[in-house]
Structure 1
Amino acid sequence: MIDLNDIAIFAKVAQLESFSRAARALGMPVSTVSRRVTVLEEQLGATLLQRTTRRLNLTEQGRAYFNQCNDPLGELYDAERALTQVQRKPEGLLKVSVPVTIGQEPFYKFISSFLRTHPRVHVDLFVTNAFVDLIAENVDVALRYGELRDSTLVAQRIGKSVRYLVCTPDYLDGRNPPSRPDDLREHQCILLNGRNNEAEWEFVSGRKSIKVPVSGPVSARDHQAVSAFTCRGHGIGFLPSTFCDARIAKGELVRLLPEWSSPEIFIHTVYPTRRFLPSKLQVFLEALKGWKSPLWIPLR
Structure 2
Amino acid sequence: MDLNALADFNLVATHGGFGRASRAGRRSKATLSRRVADLEEQLGVRLIERSAKGLELTEAGQALLSRTEGPMNEVADAFASAVEGAGQVRGQLRVAAPLLFSQLAMGRLCAEFRTLHPGVTIEVVGEDRVVNLVDERFDVAIRPNPRMDSTLVGRCFAKDRLVVVAAPSFAMPATGRPASRTATSGKSSVKPAAMDIPAVVTTTREGDVWELDGGLTLVPRPVLRLSSMLMVRDATIAGAGVALLPQSIVWSQLTRGELVQWGAVPGKEVDLWVLHTSRRLASPKVKAFVEFMGARYPDGVLTLAG
TM-score bin (small chain): 0.5 to 0.7
Distance in 1 (alpha carbons) for counterparts of 2:217 and 2:134: 38
Aligned equivalent of 1:225: 231
**TM-score scaled by length of structure 2:** 0.57
The 5 Å alignment of 1:22-37 reads none
The 5 Å alignment of 1:74-223 reads 83-86=81-84, 88-148=87-147, 150-172=149-171, 177=173, 179=175, 182-183=194-195, 186-192=196-202, 194=203, 200=208, 203=211, 205=213, 215-221=222-228, 223=229
Aligned equivalent of 1:58: none
What do the CA deviations read for 1:142-189 (whole angstroms, capped 9, x no partner)? Answer: 1111241534321421111112111002344xxx73746942xx3232
What do the CA deviations read for 1:245-268 (whole angstroms, capped 9, x no partner)? Answer: 454354322222x37555221111
Aligned equivalent of 1:74: none
Aligned equivalent of 1:252: 258
Give structure 2 stretches of 5+ with no counterpart: 2-76, 176-191
The 5 Å alignment of 1:47-86 reads 83-86=81-84
Aligned equivalent of 1:33: none
Distance in 1 (alpha carbons) for counterparts of 2:147 and 2:216: 22
Whichever of the two has the greater Rg, that structure is 1
Summarize the Cα distance change of 1:226–1:259 in structure 2 as closer, same or farther, 3 Å threshold: closer
Kept after mapping to 1: 8 A contact 2:199/2:220: no
What do the CA deviations read for 1:232-251 (whole angstroms, capped 9, x no partner)? Answer: 22221222334444543543
The letter for the 1-side match of 2:213 is: S
Kept after mapping to 1: 8 A contact 2:95/2:123: yes
Deviation at 1:209, TM superposition (A): 12
The letter for the 1-side match of 2:290 is: L
**SS of the residue 1:93 aligns to:** strand
Kept after mapping to 2: 8 A contact 1:203/1:263: no
Distance in 1 (alpha carbons) for counterparts of 2:165 and 2:240: 11
Aligned equivalent of 1:273: 278
How many residues matched? 211
The letter for the 2-side match of 1:220 is: S
The letter for the 1-side match of 2:108 is: K
Summarize the Cα distance change of 1:219–1:181 in structure 2 as closer, same or farther, 3 Å threshold: farther
Summarize the Cα distance change of 1:245–1:83 in structure 2 as closer, same or farther, 3 Å threshold: closer
The letter for the 2-side match of 1:188 is: P
Deviation at 1:99, TM superposition (A): 0.7
Deviation at 1:138, TM superposition (A): 1.3
**SS of the residue 1:188 aligns to:** strand
Distance in 2 (alpha carbons) for counterparts of 1:147 and 1:81: 30
Distance in 1 (alpha carbons) for counterparts of 2:201 and 2:207: 7
Q: What is the percent sequence identity of the aligned residues? A: 22
**TM-score scaled by length of structure 1:** 0.58
